[in-house]
């Protein structure tokens, strides 16, 4: 596969996953803001921006309403939801021959619908905009899985999706636990109860968590579920296992220098998540563990580019 094609498929998937994650997080926090008194929600949007990896200093310059518009509708903000969708569509446009017509039509429809909403953003309802992003992203993922051959191109799409998901979930957990860190005391304060529900809902995990642990919210269990659960699609472990599945499949079809290093990087992270126990993680510091997860995801991303996208011409000639 040509490196430009691999790059576009990878980033198309990452940007759309990012848009869906951002829309979900903003939507949940909008709901929480309406349910809480003003003093309890004063630091909400700086934390949201931090969870999205956006410079929190911008929050000091803007009110909540302005931040909301900036992070959703503003195409001039490269960190906004609509900018992520625009970037996903542009990458898809460059590889239209590699994806199905249904995929392109859905992404193009989503782009035009969001652009119309952004043009009339002064009157637009943020919740409707966010719902369109979430449903459009889910539909695109379903179309991808059901209309595209599950070959190397599909694996690059999977790889982009799950690297973005693992990194985003780890970042969200890191910001939340820094603010609401109850350890070593495990009880959740009554005033913080809604915030922990919000964390789970931001990962589409509240109902799934309740099926495993009932509605008894405990910080250690929430951390364990979002970090180590092997069956929940938005846990870090689930995402990392799918990263390795994609890399193993790609490595078996494209022999390149560096694939063994890439497999080792993903295997190391997968092993850490598979064999870690929550008490060991908490003993060493949850923040340090999450920081290491994010660092290793960045290393895997860099190695993917080095092996499949930015490789030297001599490597292509050799193979």
pLDDT at 274 over 80: yes
pLDDT on residue 259: 78
Three-state SS across the chain? CCHHHHHHHHHHHHHHHHHHHHHHHHHHHHHHHHHCCHHHHCCHHHHHHHHCCCCCHHHHHCCHHHHHHHHHCCCCCCCCHHHHHHHHHHHHHHCCCCCCHHHHHHHHHHHHHHHHHHHCCCCCCHHHHHHHHHHHHHHHHHHHHHHCCCCHHHHHHHHHHHHHHHHHHHHHHHHHHHHCCCCCCCCCCHHHHHHHHHHHHHCCCHHHHHHHHCCCCCHHHHHHHHHHCCCCCCCHHHHHHHHHHHHHHHHHHCCCCCHHHHHHHHHHHHHHHHHCCHHHHHHHCHHHHHHHHHHHHHHHHHHHHHHHHCCCHHHHHHC
* pTM of the full structure: 0.92
pLDDT on residue 57: 67
Name the pLDDT band for 83 (thresholds 50, 70, 90). very high
pLDDT on residue 43: 76
pLDDT on residue 73: 87
List pLDDT tens digits, range 62-76: 777 788 888 998 888
Share of the chain above pLDDT 70, in %: 87
pLDDT at 284 over 50: yes
Angle, in degrees to the nearest 10, between helices 101-119 and 81-94: 150
110/125: higher pLDDT = 110
pLDDT on residue 312: 54
pLDDT on residue 185: 55
Cα three-residue angle 89-17-49, rounded to 5 degrees: 105
Q: Which candidate, 16, 29, 17, 21, places its Cα nearest to that of 127?
A: 29
Q: How far apart are CA 52 and CA 27, in angstroms?
A: 13
Q: Stretch 43-56: mean pLDDT, rounded?
A: 84
Q: How far apart are CA 33 and CA 18, in angstroms?
A: 22
List pLDDT tens digits, range 121-176: 556 678 889 999 999 999 999 999 999 999 999 999 999 999 999 999 999 999 99
pLDDT at 316 over 90: no
List pLDDT tens digits, range 187-198: 677 778 889 999
**How far lies 183's CA from each of 168, 189, 218, in Å?**
23, 12, 11
Count of C-beta atoms within a 10 Å radius of residue 278? 15
Judge if the upstream peptide bond of residue 300 is cis by omega within 30 degrees of 0: no
pLDDT at 269 over 70: yes
pLDDT on residue 122: 56
pLDDT on residue 179: 85
**How far lies 231's CA from each of 228, 235, 309, in Å?**
9, 8, 31
Q: Which candidate, 20, 288, 60, places its Cα nearest to that of 177?
A: 288
Structure tokens at 251: 């490595």
Count of C-beta atoms within a 10 Å radius of residue 265? 21
pLDDT on residue 253: 56
Cα three-residue angle 291-83-299, rounded to 5 degrees: 30
Cβ-in-10-Å burial (0-12, 13-18, 19+) of 22 comes to buried
Residue whose entry in the numeric block shows the structure tokens 């625009």? 86
């Amino acid at each position: 596969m040509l490196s430009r094609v691999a790059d576009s498929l990878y980033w198309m998937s990452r940007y759309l996953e990012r848009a869906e994650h951002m829309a979900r997080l903003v939507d949940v926090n909008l709901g929480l803001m309406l349910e809480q008194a003003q003093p309890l929600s004063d630091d909400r949007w700086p934390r949201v921006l931090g969870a999205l990896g956006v410079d929190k200093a911008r929050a000091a310059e803007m009110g909540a309403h302005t931040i909301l518009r900036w992070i959703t509708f503003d195409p001039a903000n490269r960190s906004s939801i609509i900018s992520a969708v625009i970037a996903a569509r542009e990458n898809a446009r460059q590889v239209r021959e590699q994806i199905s017509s249904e995929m392109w039509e859905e992404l193009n429809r989503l782009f035009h619908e969001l652009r119309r909403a952004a043009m009339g953003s002064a009157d637009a309802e943020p919740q409707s905009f966010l719902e369109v992003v979430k449903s459009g992203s889910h539909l695109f993922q379903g179309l991808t899985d059901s209309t595209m051959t599950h070959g190397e191109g599909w694996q690059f799409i999977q790889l982009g999706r799950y690297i973005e998901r693992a990194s985003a979930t780890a970042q969200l957990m890191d910001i939340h636990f820094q603010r609401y860190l109850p350890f070593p005391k495990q009880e959740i304060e009554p005033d913080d109860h809604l915030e922990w529900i919000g964390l789970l809902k931001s990962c589409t995990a509240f109902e799934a968590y309740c099926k495993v642990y009932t509605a008894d919210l405990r910080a250690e269990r929430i951390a364990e579920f979002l970090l180590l659960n092997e069956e929940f699609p938005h846990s870090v472990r689930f995402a990392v296992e799918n990263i390795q599945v994609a890399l193993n499949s790609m490595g078996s079809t494209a022999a390149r220098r560096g694939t063994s290093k890439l497999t080792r990087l993903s295997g190391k992270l997968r092993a850490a998540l598979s064999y870690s126990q929550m008490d060991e993680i908490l003993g060493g510091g949850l923040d340090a563990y999450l920081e290491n997860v994010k660092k290793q995801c960045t290393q895997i991303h860099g190695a993917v580019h080095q092996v499949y996208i930015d490789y030297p011409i001599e490597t292509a000639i050799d193979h």
